Amino acid sequence: MAVTAVYESTKPEQDQANASDTVSTALDNIETGENGWVDIPLTGTPHIVNTSILKTAVVLEFTGTPGLTVVVTLGDVTDGGMKRQVFLVRNETDQDLTIQGEVGGNTYTLHPKQKMRVYSKVGESGGNGLHFVDSNAWPLGFYFNGAPSDSQELMALKAPFDFTIPKALVGSVGRTGIDPASTATFSCKKNGSEFGTVQFNTSGVVTLAAASATDFVRDTDVLSIEAPSTQDSSMQNINILLIGLMTGTIA
C-alpha cells in the first residue's frame, strides 16, 4: 500500500482545517520563505538577529560578501514567555561568522558553507542563552595501556572530515586505571600545536581546558595526545575521549 507523508502547512490564505501538503511541496514552501526560512544579507559590521525574527524562524541563512569575520548575535528567544526555540544556521557568506547569544551560552565559529543546529532554552545547565548541541557529535578516543614515558605521543589520528572541538573541551572525558601520585597534565595537539589539556589529579578528578574558544579541525589535520614532560611513575592506563561537532557542509 502506498503511503503519502503529510505536512501541515500554515498558510493564512487557505482554510486551516484543510491545508495539507506533501513533504515535497512543504519543502518548496520553506525554500521560498513561507515557513520560516529567513535570508539575512550581511555586511562587514556586527549583526543582531532580533527576537521577533527568531520566534518564527526555522532556518537562518546568512548571505553576502562581508569581506571579514562578522559577529552575529542571536536575540534572546526566551523573551516574551518562550521556553525553547531550535533552528538551523547556514553560512552562505564568503567569511567566518562568530555566532553568539544575547544572554550568554556558547560562542561558535561557523565557516563558509557550513551549517549547524542551535537552540536556546530556559534553565539549561550552565545558564540560559544559546547552546550548540547538534546531534552530529563525533567521539575521538585515545587509550594508552600501562605508563607512558616522558612527553610520549600516545596516539596520532588523522581527522576523517571537518569538525569543531567545543570551547573548554565541553563533552570530552578522561579516566585512568591507576591515578597519579601528583597532578598530571596531558596535552591535546593539532598538527603539533596545543589546543587543550586534560589534567588528572590524585583522586581521579579530571579537569579539561582549551587554549581557544573553539578549534576547527579540517580533514587534513592530525590530532594527538602527549604525555607530561615528566611522567608520573604511578599513573597507568590513560583513556581520553574528545568530543567534536560535525557541523556539516552545505550541499
CB atoms within 10 A of CB 14: 12
CATH architecture of 137-245: Sandwich (2.60)
Residue 150 identity: D
pLDDT reading at 190 higher than 80: yes
The pLDDT, as a whole number, for residue 32 is 39
When the pLDDT of each residue in the chain is averaged and rounded to a whole number, the result is 74
| Residue 108 CA: distances (Å) to CA of 100, 104, 153, 188 | 7, 12, 29, 20
Is-contact 5 23, C-beta < 8 A?
A: yes
Residue 96 identity: D
Q: Which of 118, 213, 106, 208 is nearest to 167 (CA)?
A: 213
Residue 99, C-beta contacts closer than 8 angstroms, at least 6 positions apart: 72, 74, 89, 107, 108, 109, 110, 118, 130
Output 127 or 217, whichever has higher pLDDT: 217
| Residue 2 CA: distances (Å) to CA of 19, 24, 81 | 21, 16, 42
Residue 135 identity: S
Structure-block grid coordinates of residue 5: 507523508
The pLDDT, as a whole number, for residue 62 is 93
Segments making up each domain of the chain, as ranges: 36-131, 137-245
